[in-house]
Amino acid sequence: MSLLTLLPGAHNDILVMPRWPSKQVLVDELTWQKLQAAQASLPAHLGLLLTRAYEPAVTELGRARTVFRRMGIWLFGMLYPHRKDEIDDIFGSNGHDLDGTHIDVSITIHGRRVRLLPLSVFTPISWQARRIKKFNADLVLVQTALAAQGFQLHRNATESLQIHCDLKPVLQ
Ligand SMILES: [Zn+2]
């Protein structure tokens, strides 16, 4: 598996916007090809935006993520005491520390980024529901395009809006 280093900006038809404090996205080459194929199958008004892929745990970025994660878990527990069973799904590294086949994607509609989670993972479920309703048609198109290329969406509702997905290994 080979990794590509993508700097912020447009790469073919996909925008790369590394999530702070990252300055680049390291992505598996096949995963990137599949993402481009997904983009190519979408109607012209819909764009994919790549924000996160491989983040090795031992780097400064990995350590920063660990600190954010601890603070995040604490805050999430305060805000949503009844959603504690989601903490592993939301704050786990979800494979980002393993390899570049685990990615977070956002979408643009007519070139404007759609904030499905305006308060990140702390966005209340009721707000999420309103946004899903508003953007549902486009969201379904994106999810279908990703699934057709072999991506699996995260099972947690909040993570799936992130849009965290994993390229499924091809069974030989
Ligand atoms: Zn993710």
Give the span between the Cα atoms of 170 and 160, in whole angstroms.
22
State residue 172's pLDDT score: 56
Name the nearest CA neighbour of 101 among 139, 146, 144, 66: 146
CA of 82 to the centre of ligand 1 (A): 23
CA of 103 to the centre of ligand 1 (A): 6
Pairing relationship of beta strands 46-52 and 14-16 according to DSSP bridges: parallel
One digit per residue, pLDDT tens: the chain, 172 residues?
A: 699 999 999 998 999 999 988 999 999 999 999 999 999 999 999 999 999 999 988 888 888 989 999 999 999 999 999 999 999 999 998 999 999 999 999 999 999 999 999 999 999 999 999 999 999 999 999 999 999 999 999 999 899 899 999 998 876 5
CA of 72 to the centre of ligand 1 (A): 15
Say how many CA atoms lie within 13 Å of 136 toward its Cβ: 5
CA of 75 to the centre of ligand 1 (A): 19
State residue 105's pLDDT score: 96
Q: How far is CA 77 from CA 86, 108, 163, in A?
A: 10, 31, 22
State residue 57's pLDDT score: 83
Please report the domains of the chain, with CATH numbers, ordered by start residue: 3-167 (3.30.1380)
CA of 104 to the centre of ligand 1 (A): 5
Give the span between the Cα atoms of 120 and 30, in whole angstroms.
28
